[in-house]
Structure 1
């Protein structure tokens, strides 16, 4: 057999690597034409050595920046010890991770998983099992209420209750058992709740929809309504949680404690996929041996990194940075309204910016910012999302927003 040698990736240009991806990878993404080779903090570098400010942070998976030294140290130390046992055995990192996550969230028990979509799927199973075992819903009749415009992942069940035609079309038949109501509408939830309702699943802030922030009192209202009707409140904080909004959790802004809390993305520090369902003990205990599982869920490396992330959050530093820098972000964006920006929504260090169509599409503005050395990404055609690492320096944030101002001015 003849072995054909290939040049290492580092020796190939961005254009060459993108061409290989086009040929060899499924086309389920439309990335910007930049090939990242190195990263540190809020900065990334492509294979040609050009540097860019990262204002996306891996859709909030990189809340603590690229290569945070505390997180890298935790990973390096654990790599030298043990990385995987499966849940067939105990490991010495998982108990501490579960204890610290309970303390951070104010909830009781954790189901460790890997990806955000796995956490959502797991919560749906828990809610249905609870409905049958505890609430007394007839078998096969459990319903879960979701919000229009939601994004909870891309599995077959999750796209069954998405209203995004790109995510749904061609993946039928869909999983039944879901009722969609308008987001930010308490009366619609109240009207939809019935004797078979197991749970209400809500993003406290809808990220993929363009950082949509509900009215003050909405989350507290969902909590009161679900408690009064004997229904579970599931808060999907996979994007909004872990410091992004200026609080540990987005529900903290209204002092709300859901029955089930979904975490992911930043929980792995941008190093390995880590997600979790955290919930009330009486709800979580509906799961017994064999009812659910994950080979990699709760692995020692993930637990060590998750614990290190929690220790960073326990200092309060990152929540405070998100508040302080978020005020700068909001003020700079407010000055752009009427000057290339139609409107924006922000909370903490997270914003959805609606671009004036006379300036261009969200994709076109993202490409112009790329040329100016700033990375963002578009959503829903006319909107760009801004979510830099929470460790970004103030002068770098101003630099990036100045580039946006220049791009919008043409």
Structure 2
């Protein structure tokens, strides 16, 4: 029963088929590496979609989890716990946030922001009841809830799940004129990813976010940056907004906020927007629980005190340079920022998945996205030797074609 084939068969037979994973069954992880059930080692170039920035099974985060699990795991927010205030203090000091609302998943953070900013629009900005509009971008990915898929432009995410809630306008990602033209007196927010990860690591033109920030300030629009993938060191800065020198009004973080040990997310905001939420209007049984807070505190400490953010910038440049040096006629473009990288292949290559499967055979785990793109996002603890070895595997696979 424990053979790889048997486990895959059971998963296929009993599980919903809402994923199409690469056929490797993982059993152990440490740092940048994972091992399958047969003991084969792989360089993880996905990091659980950037949830494992600190590396697999980081010992200090593990120790914090075990210690807190032996004391107190859950109280609900009906009572206070001795970890939440410390997490608030540390997050505020790190990010400059004035108000923080902890949740569990990234999608819950997005839903929280949507609810809060609509309420702010009615109570503070003066938008007529039920007329608030939030501007979003083409090819966005903010999660899988009903509210979120309603403003997705991905047919796979939307088809068959309607009817959807109104109140969203879609503009072209990276196009400032498109954003400007969509603004109305009822616009309460602009929800956007600094870099679109699921879309294939799409980076907007330089200066775009400076213009966005100016327009939001001019029109009294709340700028919401979804940094659930891009945040916490992935792009070589604590938050990706720092590359453009701007500050969002609301920032959404998750994934690496726990280092992959537990679902933890948070809405970081100014006091004005989150201040509209009163007791009973929003919450979560598990949001802000003591186990989550202790894990998040340890995850943030590891990220900042062990030089992972700086390493992401240095190793990201090294990885991107190495990938760009590969001479292959199937590579259309290499792009990225920090350790958030992508290799886009030409259509004639026949799709990226078969190259991800070939990389798996050579000990690299990467994932295809949007058909022709291989996304690369190893843990931020990767070393120069590991980057060079990884580039070598990519070179062999992509030049062999």
Give TM-score scaled by structure 2 length.
0.98
Residue of structure 1 in register with 2:11 after alignment: 21
Q: 2:124 maps to what in 1? A: 134
The counterpart of 2:76, out of the listed 77, 83, 86, is: 86
- CA-CA distance at 1:395 after TM superposition: 1.1
Match of 2:263 among 269, 273, 280: 273
Q: 1:383 aligns with which of 370, 373, 384?
A: 373
Deviation at 1:298, TM superposition (A): 0.4
- Per the alignment, residue 183 of structure 1 pairs with 173
Question: Which consecutive segments of 4 or more residues in structure 1 shift more than 6 A?
Answer: none
Q: Counterpart of 1:195 in 2: which secondary structure?
A: coil
User: 2-side partners of 1:39 and 1:345: how far apart?
Assistant: 28
C-alpha distance in structure 2 between counterparts of 1:390 and 1:230, whole Å: 37
What whole-Å deviation, never above 9, does each CA across 1:147-174 have from its counterpart, x for those lacking one? 1110000111101111100111000101
In the alignment, is residue 315 of structure 1 matched against residue 310 of structure 2?
A: no
The residue aligned with 2:46 is 56
How is 1:206-221 mapped onto 2 (pairs within 5 angstroms)?
206-221=196-211
Q: How does 1:38-117 map to 2 (within 5 A)?
A: 38-117=28-107
Q: Is the 8 A contact 2:327 2:399 kept in 1?
A: no
Deviation, structure 1 residue 310? 1.9
> Within 1, Cα distance between the matches of 2:371 and 2:268?
34
Q: 2:352 aligned with 1:397, yes or no?
A: no
Q: Is residue 303 from structure 1 mapped to residue 290 from structure 2 by the alignment?
A: no
Per the TM alignment, residue 358 of structure 1 is displaced from its structure 2 partner at its CA by 3.8
Aligned equivalent of 1:3? none
CA distance in 2, matches of 1:338, 1:233: 40
Q: Distance in 1 between matches of 2:221 and 2:14?
A: 46
How far the C-alpha of 1:200 sits from its partner, in A, is: 0.3
**Any conservation in 2 of the 1:248–1:313 contact (CA below 8 Å)?**
no
Over aligned residues, Cα RMSD in angstroms?
1.1
Tell me the distance in 2 between the aligned counterparts of 1:189 and 1:77: 48
Q: Is the 8 A contact 2:104 2:263 kept in 1?
A: yes
* Distance in 2, Cα, partners of 1:314 & 1:307: 11
Deviations 1:251-310 (A, max 9, x none): 011221111100000001100000010100121110000000100000111101111122
- What is the Cα deviation at residue 316 of structure 1? 6.8
Q: Is the 8 A contact 1:13 1:47 kept in 2?
A: yes
Q: Give the 3-state SS of the residue equivalent to 2:301 in structure 1.
A: helix
2:113 aligned residue: 123
- What residue in structure 1 maps to residue 314 of structure 2? 324
Q: For 2:194, what is the secondary structure of its paired residue?
A: coil
Structure 2: distance between partners of 1:370 and 1:356: 21
Which consecutive residues of structure 2, in runs of 5 or more, have no partner in the other structure? Answer: none
Q: CA deviation at 1:356?
A: 3.0
Structure 1 counterpart of 2:228, from 238, 241, 254: 238
Larger mean CA deviation between 331-340 and 319-328 belongs to: 331-340
Shift of 1:360: 3.6
- In the other structure, the counterpart of 1:200 is 190
TM-score (norm 1): 0.96
What secondary structure is seen at the aligned counterpart in 2 of 1:378? strand
Query: Structure 1 residue 338: deviation in Å?
Result: 4.2
Q: Which deviates more, 115-124 or 344-353?
A: 344-353
Query: In terms of mean alpha carbon deviation, does 149-158 or 359-368 score higher?
Result: 359-368
Q: How many pairs were matched up?
A: 400
Tell me, in whole angstroms, the C-alpha distance in 2 between the residues paired with 1:359 and 1:396: 27
Could you say which residue in structure 2 is the equivalent of 1:4? none
Q: Aligned residue for 2:283?
A: 293
Hey, what's the Cα distance between the residues in 2 that align with 1:111 and 1:374?
37
* Superposed CA offset, 1:134-157 (max 9, x none): 001110100000011100001111
> Is there any run of 5+ residues in structure 1 with no aligned partner, and where?
1-6
CA distance in 1, matches of 2:24, 2:308: 28
1:401, distance to aligned residue in structure 2 (A): 1.5
